[in-house]
Amino acid sequence: MGSRSEQSGVRSLASAAFALWCWTAPALCDPPRNDYPTAARVQYVQDCEGRNGGGLADLYKCSCVIDHMAAHLTYDEFVEAATFAHYATLGGEGGGIFRDTDRAKERAKLYRTLEADAYHACGLKKPPS
């Protein structure tokens, strides 16, 4: 085995090579398109668990659901679609923006469809409407 300074030199060289590789191929080093904030994933899983009984199996199934959603929507798309889906039943004139525009209807439908597909794929009953 080499000396400590040789090992340190190898580590430094490896780090430099990785940095150079990331600089020349940044798309390969960028976070994935669906890299949701941890807090958003945890909140979704906790809400999902609460709706489905809260057992350990639900933790894994609900984690599967958010992973499925993340595979299809960027985080910004997810937030927008979820907002329209959750507030589509908001009454009054103020709720109109969440239910009456074509974009609101399309985004809410997309969210509900993806979530239903994810629930099915992950072994959960139908999501709440």
Over residues 27-39, the pLDDT tens digits come to 555 555 578 999 9
Distance (Å, whole) CA 105 – CA 103: 5
Structure tokens given for 33 = 């398109």
Structure tokens given for 68 = 């499925």
- Could you tell me if residue 128 is inside a domain? no
- Could you tell me if residue 23 is inside a domain? yes
The 10s digit of each residue's pLDDT in 35-68 is 899 999 999 999 999 999 988 999 999 999 999 9
- Could you tell me if residue 62 is inside a domain? yes
Overall pTM > 0.75: no
Instruction: Please give the residue range of the domain that contains residue 97.
Output: 38-121
Helices (H), the chain: 4-24, 26-29, 38-52, 56-72, 75-87, 96-99, 102-121
- Could you tell me if residue 86 is inside a domain? yes
Give Cα 30 to chain centroid, integer Å.
16
